[in-house]
Chain A
Amino acid sequence: MSDVFILAQFAGEIVAKTTAELATCGARVGNVTAIVLAAPGKGAALASQVNTAGVAKVLVLENADFDHFGVAASAEAIAGLVKEHKPSALLITSSAFGKELAGCVAVLTDSGLITDAVDVTSELVATQVIFGGSTTVHSHVSQGCAIITMRPNSISPDMAKSSPEIVNVEVSISDAAKRAEVVSSQPPVAEGRPELTEAQIIVSGGRGTNGDFSAVETFADLLGAAVGASRAATDAGWYPHSHQVGQTGKTVSPQLYVACGISGAIQHRAGMQTSKTIVVINKDPEAPIFELADFGVVGDLFTVLPQASEGVKARKS
C-alpha cells in the first residue's frame, strides 16, 4: 500500500476535527503518516491527540522557526519529508496558510497541486466544486506527490481511535526560509461558539441587522451554531472580520446555513453556496439570496428570528 502524508492541524493546542477528516481520506489510499509541526517542548502533547482511524505514524518536528518564519519555514520542513519518504499524496486543510504551504511544497518538490477539494477517492481523484457551486470537477495530480488541500467539513470523519507510532524528527531551517519574520501574533479571540469552517450550523447576519446581532446570536446559540456575517456587517464594524463569509472571507459548507438580512451578492454566495440546506430571512421578496433558499421567509428578521428561537426553546423543554 502506498503512504499518504497529512498535516495535522491544531486550534491552539487542541487537535482540529479537520485532522481526522484528512486521515479518513488518506486511509482510503494507504497508510497515513501525520506530520505535527510544533514549538519546542510542545510536540508530544500535540502528537498524542492525533489518533483517529487510519493514522499509523506521527512524525513530530519541533522547531521554534515554525512560529517565527511563517509559511516558508514550514514548507521547507515538509518538502524535506516529502523528498525523503516519497508519499503518494500530501493532504492539507484548506486555509490561507494551508493553501500557501501546499503551493510552496509543490514548488519545492515539483509536484502537482489541487486546492479546495471536497472529496478524494482511493485513486487520489479529487472532487472540486467551482464557479460558486455550479460545476463539479474531478482531477488528479499527474506528477510528483499529489498535493491536495481539502475544505474543512466536506466529509464525515471516522473518529474511531488508532494507536500510531510516534517518531521525533530533527529539523533545521535554512536562512533562505527565514526571510519574512513574524514579529508578533494575535490569535483570533475565542468566543465559545464553534469555529465557522467546522460548524454544522451557521446563522449569519448582514446589513439587515442594522448592527444588532442579538437575535442572530440567540438563535445561533439555541442551535449550537457558529455566527457568520456579510461584508457589509464586518465593514460596518458590527462583527469581526474573522466571521465574514464570502469570497474574501471564509468559505463554509455547513449542514444548515441561515442567512438573515443578507441580500446574496455574488461575493457572499461564493462563500456559502455549497451549504447543504439554506434558509433565508429577508424583507425584500426580490433579494437574490432567495434563489438559493431551500426555505425562505419574506419578513422582518427582528420578528421572525425571535419567534423561531421561542419555537426551538419550546421543543427543547
Chain B
Amino acid sequence: MKIAVCVKQVPDSWAEKKMSGGVLDRQGVDAVLNDLDEYAVEEALRVVEAHGGNGEGGANSVIVISMGPERTADAVRKALSMGADGAIIITDPALAGSDALSTSKVLAKVIEGGDFDLVFCGTESTDARMSVVPAMVAQRLSWAQLTFAGSVNVDPGAKAVTITRVTEAGVDTMKAAFPAVISVVEKINEPRYPSFKGIMAAKKKPVEIKDLAGVGIEASSVGSSGARSVVDDATPRPPKAAGIKIVDDGNGGKALVDFLVEKKLI
C-alpha cells in the first residue's frame, strides 16, 4: 500500500494569535506540527505495520504531504521521525492567504499524481479550525470520503477499508474501496514519541520541495489572488472584564444562586 498523510504546520496553540492584514500573523510564533495530525501519522503507521511494514524491506510506504511556508519542513520532520518514509512539501509565495478551496486544490493535485491507495488527515487544524479540508480533498479527487474515524480497519487484499465515523450525529460504520481519504479523531490512538533512532533517521529521509509550477497549478488560482472569500476586518475583542471570585465560606452555593438571580439567568 502507498499511503499519504496530510499534515499542517500551525502556530503553537499556546501562543497568542494575532491577525495582520486579514491573515494570521505567523511571524514570531513557534511553528509546530498540528497536534491532531499526529494521530493521522500514527494511524497510518499502525496500518502499514499491521500489513508488512514500511521502510527498508517493508511492503508499504507512508509519505507526508504538507502545504505551507518554508519552515513547514520543521513540522514535517516530526512526522518523519515518527516513522514516515518521505515527504512532499508544497511551498510558494503565491500560496500565502490560501483558503480551504485553494488548500484542497493543491493537496488533491499532489495526491492525484502520487498513486496512493489511502490518504490520512487530522480532523481539524488548530489554527484554521474549519474541519473541511479532508472532505474537500475527497470531493476534488472523487474518492471515498471516510472522515471523523474513531477506528480504521484496512483489508489490503480486498483493497477495502471500514471505519466508524464518530460525530455529534452518532456513530456510523462506513466502508469503501480504495482509494479513500480518511480523517481520524484524536481518540483513535496514542501517537508515539519519536525515538532517538527515528530522529536521526529522519534527517536522511527524502523531502521533495515543490512550488506551484512544479505541482502544475496556476498561481493566480490559489492564495490570496484565488481566494473566494475576503476578510473585511479583524479586531481583537476587548478582554473580558474581571469577574467576581469568592472563596466558599459555607455560603458559596447561595452566593452563586444570588448571582444567577441578579443576572436574570434563573
Contact = CB atoms under 8 A, between A and B. Distances in A.
Contacts of A96: 131, 147-148, 167-169
A107 B256 contact: no
B145 A180 contact: yes
A31 interface: no
A183 B142 contact: no
B170 A179 contact: no
A308 B132 contact: no
Contact of A307 (B130, B147, B169, B252): B252
A292 B240 contact: yes
B236 A134 contact: yes
Interface in B177-223: 177, 180, 185-187
Interface string A110-151: 111111100000000100011101111111111110000000
Nearest to A310: B253
Interface in A68-116: 70-72, 75, 95-97, 99-100, 102-104, 106-108, 110-116
A256 B265 contact: yes
A312 B266 contact: yes
Interface residues of chain A: helix, strand, loop or mixed (majority): mixed
B228 A296 contact: no
A170 B139 CA distance: 23
A112 B257 contact: no
Interface in B239-266: 240, 243-248, 251-261, 263, 265-266
Contact of B132 (A113, A142, A183, A277): A113
Contacts, number: 261
Interface stretch (A40-48, A55-63, A242-250): A242-250
B230 interface: yes
Q: Range of interface residues on chain A?
A: 35 or more
B98 interface: no
A2 interface: no
Given A97-B167, A186-B171, A299-B252, A179 B145 contact: yes
Interface residues of B, number: 81
A266 B15 CA distance: 11
B132 A298 contact: no
Contact of B265 (A108, A130, A242, A255): A255
Contacts of A111: 228
Interface in B220-235: 227-235
Contacts of A102: 132
Contacts of A140: 229-230, 232
A133 B129 CA distance: 13
B99 interface: yes
Given A96-B167, A111-B228, A293 B245 contact: yes
A95 B131 CA distance: 10
B228 A248 contact: no
Interface string A255-286: 11000000000110010000001110100010
Given A71-B135, A304-B256, 10 more contacts: A95-B167, A106-B136, A110-B228, A125-B232, A181-B174, A185-B172, A248-B186, A255-B265, A281-B252, A307-B254
27 contacts: A71-B145, A96-B148, A103-B132, A106-B101, A113-B228, A113-B229, A115-B131, A137-B19, A138-B234, A139-B230, A142-B227, A180-B145, A180-B180, A183-B172, A185-B170, A188-B168, A235-B187, A241-B187, A242-B168, A256-B260, A293-B243, A293-B245, A295-B245, A297-B248, A303-B252, A311-B253, A311-B257
